[in-house]
Amino acid sequence: MKKYDVTIGIPIYNSVDCIQASLMSALSQSYPSIEILLVDDGCTDGTMDVVKQIVCNHERENDVRIVKHQTNMGVSASRNQIIDEALGEYLYFMDSDDTITENAIELLMQSARCYAAEVVFGSYEKIETSGSKTVYQYPSLQLLKMDELASFAYRKYAGIQASACNFLVKTKLLRNNNIRFIDINYWEDLVFTFDFVTYVSRAVLLPDITFYYRCREDSLSHYQQRTCIAKEEVMQNVKAINHLKKTSLQYTNKVYFSNRCFNIVMTDFYIACNILKRRRDILPYVISSEIKALMSHPATWSQICSFSQSRVKNMLFYMLSKMPSKLCVATIWCLGKFKKLI
Kindly state the average pLDDT of the residues 58-78. 96
Q: Is 36 exposed, middle or buried (0-12, 13-18, 19+ CB in 10 A)?
A: buried
Helices (H), the chain: 19-27, 47-56, 75-85, 104-114, 148-153, 171-176, 188-196, 231-247, 257-277, 288-294, 301-305, 311-321, 325-338
Residue 210 CA to residue 26 CA, distance in Å, equals 12
Instruction: Specify the 3-state DSSP secondary structure of 199.
Output: helix
Give the model confidence (pLDDT) of 162-208 as tens digits. Answer: 999 999 999 999 999 999 999 998 899 999 999 999 999 999 999 99
8 A C-beta contact, residue 147 and residue 235: no
Residue 11 CA to residue 92 CA, distance in Å, equals 12
The one-character DSSP state at 341 is -
Asked whether residue 331 carries a pLDDT value surpassing 70, the answer given is yes
Asked whether residue 138 carries a pLDDT value surpassing 80, the answer given is yes
* pTM confidence score: 0.94
Task: Give the pairing of strands 4-12 and 88-93.
Answer: parallel
Asked whether residue 112 carries a pLDDT value surpassing 90, the answer given is yes
**What's the distance, Cα to Cα, between the start and end of the chain in Å?**
55
The topology under which CATH files domain 4-214 is Spore Coat Polysaccharide Biosynthesis Protein SpsA; Chain A (3.90.550)
Write down the domain spans for the chain.
Answer: 4-214, 229-338
